[in-house]
């Protein structure tokens, strides 16, 4: 499988439609800003770093139509509004804007396209470093049964990034080194990114894994069957509070109660110095239909949505939650592990290598 986002020899941009996985591998072309915005809002692409990368290309494509200051600001605003919680989107859009703003209007579209490409290459390099640092941290744990047991929530693998993943980067690094490991994969209702995407990509790489219901993690930790919880994240506030897929907070509570280390893997671009704490992070609320219905494959092989609640029952669908910094044992970034605290994060951000 190539990168999650790639351009062909004719400079056309492609990705996988993640709403069709794990049953169908469908490639979609992103030919303009509208395609990129639609891919993000409909979750054909998802995961903080990948959303940022698609947003960056979306801005570059918008500038092919009009590239004056007003058009640039409007396209940035439109793309930034596609999903609210992952800060990588804003970060990526601002990176492209800052690169092209000083240039003559006629030079902006090409420069933005090049910058989006560099941003993707940087994402791949960052995630490889996260894999390296996270792998060392995990190897320092003494696996209770000779096989390192990792529990993860949602999908923070290669499908959520341009390549390697964040939380799964250390898993892939250790697996490639021959370290025996096994991943407990939370199904991650309501959209089942764990069952559909994490399980799919781990299977693709031959990594031993078991899908569990979202409610099983506490029992597994209590029984001593988890050596570490390792998740990705969508935004880290200045004080180290972490927003990630709904249900992450409950895993962190269970981990602390059972003395299981809780690690959060993320590139430095996921740290938002403008958010003082978790309360400042906007939590996306998605359609109740994602709770009232579930998608799967029927016996004829068709993808179908099935209703699972009584007619008329209300449903609420917050897509993310905030784990307080005190429950996070370490952030794993491309610059190395870092405490989830304001002074440690300030030092990390200053260390601009």
Q: How far is the CB of 164 from ligand MRU (least distance, A)?
A: 10
Phi first, then psi: give them for residue 318, nearest 5 degrees. -70, 130
Q: Which is nearer to ligand MRU, 60 or 265 (CB)?
A: 265
Q: What is the smallest separation between the CB atom of 258 and ligand MRU, expressed in angstroms?
A: 22
By C-beta, is 193 or 239 nearer to ligand MRU? Answer: 193
The contacts of residue 34 (CB under 8 Å, 6+ apart) are none
Q: Which residues bind ligand MRU (CB under 6 A)?
A: 46-49, 86, 154, 156, 160-161, 166, 193, 232-234, 244-245, 319
Give the DSSP letter string of 259-292.
T--EEEE--GGGEETT--SGGGSPPPB--THHHH
- Pick 149 or 270: Cβ nearer ligand MRU: 270
What residues are annotated to the active site? 234
- Taken in order 221, 196, 246, 348, is the CA torsion positive or negative? positive
Cα first-last separation, the chain: 31
CA-CA-CA-CA torsion for 42, 270, 183, 196, nearest 10 degrees?
Answer: 0
Structure tokens at 347: 């030092």
Dihedral (CA of 317, 279, 86, 56) sign: positive
Residue located via tokens 């799967």: 296
Q: How far is the CB of 166 from ligand MRU (least distance, A)?
A: 4
Distances (CA, A) of 172 to 32, 128, 288, 319, 322: 33, 10, 35, 27, 26
The minimum distance between CB 112 and ligand MRU, in angstroms, equals 24
**Shortest spacing between CB 286 and ligand MRU, in angstroms:** 8
């Amino acid at each position: 499988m190539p990168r999650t986002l790639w351009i062909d020899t004719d400079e056309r941009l492609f990705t996988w439609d993640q709403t069709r996985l794990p049953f169908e591998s469908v490639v979609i072309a992103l030919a303009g800003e509208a395609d990129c915005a639609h891919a993000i809002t409909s979750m054909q692409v998802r995961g903080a770093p990948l959303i940022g990368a698609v947003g960056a290309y979306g801005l570059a494509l918008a500038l092919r139509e009009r590239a004056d200051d007003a058009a640039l600001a409007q396209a940035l605003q439109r793309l930034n509004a596609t999903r609210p919680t992952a800060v990588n989107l804003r970060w990526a859009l601002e990176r492209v804007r800052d690169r092209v703003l000083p240039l003559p209007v006629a030079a902006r579209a090409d420069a933005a396209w090049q910058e989006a490409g560099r941003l993707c290459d940087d994402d791949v390099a960052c995630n490889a470093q996260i894999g390296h640092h996270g792998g060392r941290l995990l190897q320092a744990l003494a696996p209770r049964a000779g096989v390192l047991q990792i529990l993860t929530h949602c999908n923070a693998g290669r499908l959520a990034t341009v390549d390697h993943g964040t939380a799964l980067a250390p898993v892939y690094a250790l697996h490639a080194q021959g370290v025996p490991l096994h991943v407990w994969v939370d199904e991650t209702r309501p959209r089942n990114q764990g069952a559909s995407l994490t399980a799919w990509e781990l299977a693709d790489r031959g990594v031993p894994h078991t899908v569990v219901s979202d409610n099983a993690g506490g029992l597994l930790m209590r029984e001593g069957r988890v050596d570490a919880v390792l998740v990705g994240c969508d935004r880290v506030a200045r004080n180290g509070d972490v927003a990630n897929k709904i249900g992450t907070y409950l895993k962190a509570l269970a981990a602390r109660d059972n003395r299981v280390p809780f690690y959060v893997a993320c590139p430095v671009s996921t740290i938002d110095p403008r958010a003082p704490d978790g309360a400042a992070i906007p939590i996306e609320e998605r359609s109740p239909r994602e709770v009232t219905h579930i998608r799967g494959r029927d016996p004829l092989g068709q993808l179908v949505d099935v209703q699972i609640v009584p007619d008329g029952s209300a449903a609420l669908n917050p897509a993310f939650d905030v784990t307080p910094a005190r429950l996070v044992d370490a952030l794993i970034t491309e610059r190395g592990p870092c405490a989830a605290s304001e002074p440690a994060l300030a030092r990390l951000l200053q260390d601009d290598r």
